[in-house]
């Protein structure tokens, strides 16, 4: 379901019930109940219980209900899948897989999902989102994107990717001194690789979060840059970041008006047997209408989200 609206993900530790309650009422398009980095080893089991309780008891409105399992290289991942989905698989929209490095990682999760759904007689399939946050993951992004029909999105994680690639990084998501000394964008290849792999397979793609909550201008710039590369959304670690991120990944009023004008102009051209037409001094053709229709479809999803 690539037409789901995911301008923003809001991470919340699965071990913190009060934060989960607040996240369920937030402006996020998707709430990510995190069992991985945000939860200590001692709290993994209780975190799973909170995930189950949250999706069963809380009203998430129109927000997607997502939970991030632990990595497949840990002893926690299979229990994250089995325990949560056997108890609440009918209430989960998406499972997020961290550090996906090859197609087999996604396919492992897919196989468990199939078995759990069959055993629990679940009729609504749970989708998968895969985080690309290792050097191997970036190299295999296209393979990963085509690994399963259940896969809905790829997510770029700059923090773990930097560690995997040996890239110095002062803070997750930030542009720091090392970026200033590099004649270009250090992240461009990895980010564009994720976008192209996702879009080639009809998937959504999201950029990772900005950890510095005291840098709102940096957040706006990062979100705009990601949108310019083709990302459909960005992850957040605090509700205060959601407004800027949602705005960056929503068509502006001007965008919508322009898209409507393009569609109208090309419909008129088609009726008169022309394949292209001039609009405000610029030539527009079939490529323009595809972009315009994408803008209008996204605008419709935003309006639906705001009224849900």
Binding site residue list for substrate: 68, 133
Short-list 76, 75, 95, CA closest to 85: 95
Short-list 217, 283, 269, 282, CA closest to 248: 217
- What is d(CA 227, CA 244) in angstroms, rounded to the nearest whole number? 12
Length of the chain: 308
Binding-site residue set for Mg(2+): 133, 160
Binding-site residue set: 68, 133, 160
């Amino acid at each position: 379901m690539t037409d789901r609206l995911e301008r923003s993900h809001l991470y919340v530790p699965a071990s913190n019930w009060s934060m989960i309650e607040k996240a369920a009422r937030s402006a996020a398009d998707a709430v990510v109940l995190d069992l991985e980095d945000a939860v200590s080893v001692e709290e993994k089991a209780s975190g799973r219980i909170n995930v189950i309780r949250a999706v069963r008891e809380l009203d998430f409105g129109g927000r997607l209900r997502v939970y991030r399992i632990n990595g497949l290289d840990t002893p926690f991942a299979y229990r994250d899948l089995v325990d949560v989905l056997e108890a609440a698989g009918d209430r989960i929209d998406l499972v997020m897989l961290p550090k996906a490095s090859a197609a087999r990682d996604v396919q492992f999760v897919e196989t468990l999902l199939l078995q759990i759904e069959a055993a629990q007689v679940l009729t609504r399939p749970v989708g998968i989102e895969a985080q690309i946050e290792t050097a191997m993951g970036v190299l295999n992004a296209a393979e990963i994107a085509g690994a399963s029909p259940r896969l809905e999105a790829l997510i770029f994680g700059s923090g773990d990717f930097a560690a995997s690639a040996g890239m110095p990084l002062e803070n997750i998501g930030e542009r720091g001194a090392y970026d200033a000394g590099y004649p270009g964008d250090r992240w461009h290849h990895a980010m564009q690789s994720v976008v192209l792999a996702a879009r080639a397979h009809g998937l959504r793609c999201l950029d990772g979060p900005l950890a510095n909550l005291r840098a709102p201008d940096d957040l706006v710039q990062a979100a705009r840059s990601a949108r310019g590369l083709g990302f459909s959304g960005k992850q957040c670690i605090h509700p205060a970041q959601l407004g800027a991120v949602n705005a960056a990944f929503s068509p502006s009023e001007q965008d919508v008006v322009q898209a409507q004008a393009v569609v109208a102009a090309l419909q008129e051209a088609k009726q008169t047997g022309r394949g292209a037409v001039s609009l405000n001094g610029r030539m527009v053709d079939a490529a323009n209408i595809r972009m315009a229709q994408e803008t209008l479809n996204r605008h419709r999803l935003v309006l639906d989200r705001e009224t849900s």
